[in-house]
């Protein structure tokens, strides 16, 4: 299955942020591990308070039922193998702003991602002049990132198809099963401070919180 990351993540966050709360379900038996999980969540929320919206809780079901309809699935065999990167390669690709040198010495680059990354980096640069549109976008982005950890946890753990492919650029992708490995690969690289994906600024601290909370 082939999915565009931008089509999946943005509708997910928007739907999650503005959805009407569902009626409270009937009480269910409390599992034995409930208190342990609750204590763990509280500890992580206390450690990374800026990434949790106190008025928001994650849903136990699919994040956005229409997300699969918004993105057109295609057979994974339609994707050229050289465009589907492994976790370590994708980490190097993201940190490099759309380019990296592979273990065998091959230079890989994606011009579309490089242009977008350069544009996003310039917009987030301290002191850079901003239009009203950019200022509004920054406020919306900040609000979404505040609630994004619970959303990301559900989204990241919902992939059951081992062949599902996520596109970070029109010609560069990652298999969904490698998402967790990508997170770790990013954190293992000492040069990783922040990356830009689809207009979002993802910092090392946010990724540390995501790994700890979503695992």
Sequence-ordered list of residues with C-beta below 8 angstroms from that of 176, at least 6 positions apart, any chain: 3, 159, 161, 162, 164, 165, 166
Q: Looking at per-residue confidence, does 38 or 129 come out higher?
A: 38
Q: Is residue 127, in this structure, part of any structural domain at all?
A: yes
Q: Is residue 147, in this structure, part of any structural domain at all?
A: yes
Sequence-ordered list of residues with C-beta below 8 angstroms from that of 132, at least 6 positions apart, any chain: none
Whether residue 131 is predicted with pLDDT greater than 70 in this model: the reply is no
Q: Each residue of 29-84: pLDDT tens digit? A: 444 443 445 677 777 777 777 777 654 444 433 333 333 322 333 444 454 555 89
> To the nearest whole percent, how much of the chain has pLDDT over 70?
57
Residue 36 is predicted with a pLDDT of 44
Q: Is residue 8, in this structure, part of any structural domain at all?
A: yes
> To the nearest whole percent, how much of the chain has pLDDT over 90?
24
Sequence-ordered list of residues with C-beta below 8 angstroms from that of 135, at least 6 positions apart, any chain: none
Q: Is residue 26, in this structure, part of any structural domain at all?
A: no
Residue 119 is predicted with a pLDDT of 85
Model confidence band, residue 9 (pLDDT cutoffs 50, 70, 90): low
Q: Is residue 71, in this structure, part of any structural domain at all?
A: yes
Q: Is residue 27, in this structure, part of any structural domain at all?
A: no
Q: Looking at per-residue confidence, does 144 or 113 come out higher?
A: 113
Average of per-residue pLDDT across 124-132 = 59
Whether residue 189 is predicted with pLDDT greater than 90 in this model: the reply is yes
195's tokens:
């990356």
Residue 126 is predicted with a pLDDT of 58
Q: Is residue 165, in this structure, part of any structural domain at all?
A: yes
Q: Looking at per-residue confidence, does 170 or 20 come out higher?
A: 170
Q: Looking at per-residue confidence, does 57 or 129 come out higher?
A: 129
Q: For strand 194-197 and strand 99-101, is the pairing parallel, antiparallel, or unpaired?
A: unpaired
Residue 179 is predicted with a pLDDT of 92
Domain range for 119 is 2-18+34-214
Alpha carbon dihedral 19, 25, 29, 31, in 10-degree steps, equals 0
Residue 3 is predicted with a pLDDT of 63
Q: Is residue 25, in this structure, part of any structural domain at all?
A: no
Whether residue 182 is predicted with pLDDT greater than 90 in this model: the reply is yes
Exposed / middle / buried, residue 60 (Cβ in 10 Å: 0-12, 13-18, 19+) = exposed
CA distance 100 to 102: 6
Average of per-residue pLDDT across 165-188 = 92
- The number of distinct structural domains making up the chain is 1
Whether residue 187 is predicted with pLDDT greater than 90 in this model: the reply is yes
Residue 151 is predicted with a pLDDT of 82
């Amino acid at each position: 299955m082939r999915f565009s990351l931008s089509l999946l993540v943005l509708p997910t966050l928007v739907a999650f942020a503005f959805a009407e709360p569902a009626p409270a379900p009937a009480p269910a038996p409390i599992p034995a591990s409930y208190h342990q999980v609750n204590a763990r969540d509280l500890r992580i929320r206390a450690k990374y308070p800026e990434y949790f919206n106190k008025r928001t809780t994650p849903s136990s079901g699919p994040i956005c039922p229409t997300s699969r309809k918004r993105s057109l699935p295609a057979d994974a065999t339609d994707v050229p193998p050289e465009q589907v990167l492994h976790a370590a390669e994708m980490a190097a690709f993201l940190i490099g702003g759309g380019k990296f040198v592979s273990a065998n010495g091959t230079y890989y680059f994606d011009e579309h991602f490089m242009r977008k990354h350069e544009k996003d980096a310039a917009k987030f640069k301290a002191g850079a002049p901003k239009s009203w549109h950019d200022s509004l976008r920054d406020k919306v982005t900040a609000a979404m990132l505040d609630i994004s950890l619970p959303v990301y946890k559900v989204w990241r753990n919902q992939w059951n198809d081992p062949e599902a492919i996520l596109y970070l650029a029109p010609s560069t992708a990652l298999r969904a099963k490698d998402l967790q490995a990508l997170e770790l690969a990013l954190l293992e690289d000492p040069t990783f401070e922040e990356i830009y994906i689809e207009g979002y600024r993802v910092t090392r601290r946010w990724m540390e919180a995501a790994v700890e909370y979503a695992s």
